[in-house]
Chain A
Amino acid sequence: MRVGISKFVRLAVAAIATISVTASAFAAEKELIFGMLLVGPYNDHGWSQAHYEGGHYVEKKLPGSKMIYIDKVNPADRPGLTIPMVVDDLVDKGATVIVGNSDDMKDGMREAAQMHPDVQFIHISGDDALTGKASPNLSNLMGKMEYGKMMAGFVAALTTKNGKIGYLGPLINEETRRLSVAAYLGARYAWTEVLKKPESELKFKVSWIGFWFNIPGVTADPTQVSRNFFDTGYDVVLSGIDTTEATIVAEQKRKEGVDAYAVPYDYIGSCETAPKACLGVPYYNWGPDYVKIFKAIQDGSWKQSWTWSDPDWTDINNIDTSAIGFVKGAALSAENSAKLDQFIKGLGDGSINLFKGPLTYQDGKSYLKEGEVATDNQIWYLEQLLAGMEGVSK
């Protein structure tokens, strides 16, 4: 079937022109539809699942609210997909609030927010609202996971037999530096102040895999990296990535007779995948903040903001109030559990502040002077890992 050129062009043009051009965007009244862009699978037992369940919490607590979500929003899992595209689609479906849950979506969220000035955008973990790069309808939200990471580091240092703690890091940026440093500070506190051991005997090594979760052929394989930690004598591995490889490997190692432990991250139920090796999990509880923000959007009182939410120190595991919590794992000893409670109490009443000088960067530059307490800004924009940590800063 050889078609002549002119006929062929006519065909092509006709095909394009005959497609109906009807935008079916209709915004529903009173109800609030929020679109959720999850970077990983909704059931990853980690970062994305924490958001997914936060969304369900909103549906329960906020009458008339409805979630539409799309998971695996990253170019490796969904080739050809861009954030503005998905946002267009969600807005078509009536969404008036869009939540993007990855640092990775920063550029796309900014672009989409400009294209839809009537829609509110909440970019998790970003700082565009702080730096002024955001349009007025783009806000940021994050929880102060630094505290959760301090607790994670704390139990790790109490549990390790030889003082060798591994940190399975994602990619290197301000957020991940900040979190690994917090874990180190928690570990150092437990090691020197609780166990009264010399600081020089604590080894804290960070290995970065390159992204928030495993992408075969692109990132280092987190299973391999975790295994490598245990094989080289590290007996506790803290996970800084979105998924649970570290904990699963730790449990496998236990079956091989190694005294291995891990601390997962992000999601309240992370320990369930491998309870015997799990010391506990610092987790995000997005529900309460989502409800607060969506309610304000619904009644029109919402203003652009950069929110960095504290735990509820009266009960960090209160799912209706606390942005950050820590669930103790089955592998945590009773004695260490009691010490952790003391530590949490100290953090809550301010008697323990780990972001306090003197603290030195890896390259010897001073981060905080003697007695200086870090401001939120100084913590957020941490430039390097600290002296005493092993691993790449940039």
Chain B
Amino acid sequence: MRGVKQHVTEIALILGMVTLFTALVLSLVGASPLDAFGHLIKGSLGSWSKFSRVLNVWIPLTLCSVGLLYAFRTGLWNIGVEGQVVIGAIGATAILRFGMEGGGQMHVWMALLLAMLFGVLWALFAGSLKVKAGVHEIFAGLGLNFVAMGLVLWVIFGPWKRPGIASMSGTQPFPRELWFPTLEGWRVSPFALGLALLVIVISAWLLYRSRVGLNLDAVGKNPRAVRLFGLSPSRYMLIAIMVSGALAGLAGGLQVSGVYHRLIPAISSGYGYLGLLVVMLANFRLAPVPFIALFFAALNVGSIQLPMMMQLDSSLAGVIQGACVLSALLVFGLRGLKKRRQSNE
């Protein structure tokens, strides 16, 4: 009970700090914080179509965040998640292009599979550099992100450009048969939603209830000690980052087949980096991830109201998200400090 109470206090503390900070920023530019918060809420939860949009952001964001948890378990910062989303999207597009004439659902599922495979391979690059060559995964990941960005621009402006036109608006859109399946009248695919929920459930079991999860945890906590139990830290690190890459790739595949219906340069929508924030705010635990991802997704979608209704810049969403993470780090840091002091006494 005491644990729950502590979490609730911490969350209230974080939200309070963020609200105060945001209100202050808004007042500084002469806007009404109440109006702004109102528009954010109405713009994200005000109607089913708006909430569908939130879910459309939630799905890839959650997939990226959950994937990151695996890597974090083994102590790896898979910052390359952004590039893994992009590469996944490229993989999916490669398959879907084959189905431009008379393709069907087979192509869509194949596309998602290849998206995951591409994500895995891309993550494996960073992972191998880490375990084989000792290159820190943050540097490898960042580098690979740039390479992925370069690749996506190259295919869009080069081999996959539209007939006669190379355009930022991306490749030729896919025919409806190649869209990720959804139900009539739904603005978010219930199947994609189910897929994301399934990933959460499986991960809850894998990370917290299975032997694999325990081993991952052990590798992260003390890579030297696990050797004594006959476990290879490198192997588990690679497994973790590959799962991370698979989920990021899946997110990229869904962005292509379910959201944009084509490959565009900004296909990742920054969900990889945003996922890192989600996981940090969740204090690297699974249970809060779907809710924080929902909160962030709602902010992203709701923020479009700010320029529309109040002529404010929509980057306020980013300010709030950043403030959340900073406040969380502060609160978690204070908690750690308190614990240490208590144990010293």
- Contacts A12-B200, A75-B264, A211-B168 given; does A92 touch B291 at CB 8 Å: no
Does the CB pair B187–A75 fall under 8 Å? no
Closest chain B residue to A70 by CB distance? B308
Interface residues of A in 317-355 (CB under 8 A from B): none
Interface residues of A in 22-48 (CB under 8 A from B): 22-25
Q: In the assembly, what is the distance between CA of A142 and CA of B151, in Å?
A: 34
Choose the segment among A82-90, A298-306, A359-367 that binds chain B (4+ C-beta atoms closer than 8 Å). A82-90
Does the CB pair B47–A9 fall under 8 Å? no
Does the CB pair A172–B7 fall under 8 Å? no
Q: In the assembly, what is the distance between CA of A8 and CA of B291, in Å?
A: 11
Q: At the interface, is chain B mostly helix, strand, loop or mixed?
A: helix
A-chain residues with CB within 8 Å of residue B290 when the two chains form the complex: 12
Does the CB pair A218–B7 fall under 8 Å? no
Q: In the assembly, what is the distance between CA of A9 and CA of B199, in Å?
A: 11
- Contacts A24-B46, A75-B264, A79-B269 given; does A218 touch B153 at CB 8 Å: yes
Does the CB pair A171–B167 fall under 8 Å? yes
Interface residues of B in 204-229 (CB under 8 A from A): 204-205, 208-209
Q: At the interface, is chain A mostly helix, strand, loop or mixed?
A: loop
A-chain residues with CB within 8 Å of residue B334 when the two chains form the complex: none
Quick one: which of A1, A75, A173 contacts B4, CB cutoff 8 A?
A1
Choose the segment among B50-58, B69-77, B113-121, B324-332 that binds chain A (4+ C-beta atoms closer than 8 Å). B50-58
The minimal Cβ–Cβ distance linking B51 to chain A, given in whole angstroms, is: 5
Does the CB pair A75–B265 fall under 8 Å? yes
Chain A count of residues within 8 A CB distance of the other chain: 51
- Whether B244 sits at the interface, judged by CB under 8 Å, is no
Interface residues of A in 233-277 (CB under 8 A from B): none
Chain B count of residues within 8 A CB distance of the other chain: 56
A-chain residues with CB within 8 Å of residue B259 when the two chains form the complex: 82
- Contacts A24-B47, A92-B47, A173-B164 given; does A107 touch B262 at CB 8 Å: yes
Interface residues of B in 276-328 (CB under 8 A from A): 285, 287, 290-291, 294, 300-301, 304-305, 307-308, 314
- Whether B49 sits at the interface, judged by CB under 8 Å, is yes
Does the CB pair A69–B308 fall under 8 Å? yes
- Whether A356 sits at the interface, judged by CB under 8 Å, is no
- Contacts A12-B200, A82-B259, A106-B169 given; does A75 touch B53 at CB 8 Å: no
Interface residues of B in 142-190 (CB under 8 A from A): 149, 153, 157, 164-169, 173, 187
- Whether B134 sits at the interface, judged by CB under 8 Å, is no
The minimal Cβ–Cβ distance linking B70 to chain A, given in whole angstroms, is: 17
Does the CB pair B204–A86 fall under 8 Å? no
Interface residues of B in 256-272 (CB under 8 A from A): 259-262, 264-266, 268-271
List 3 A-B pairs, minimum CB-CB distance, nearest first: A79-B269, A80-B269, A75-B266
> Could you jot down 9 A-B contacts, CB within 8 Å?
A5-B204, A8-B204, A22-B48, A80-B269, A80-B270, A81-B304, A103-B167, A174-B165, A394-B164
Known: A81-B304, A211-B168. 5 other contacts (CB 8 A): A23-B48, A25-B47, A80-B300, A93-B308, A218-B153
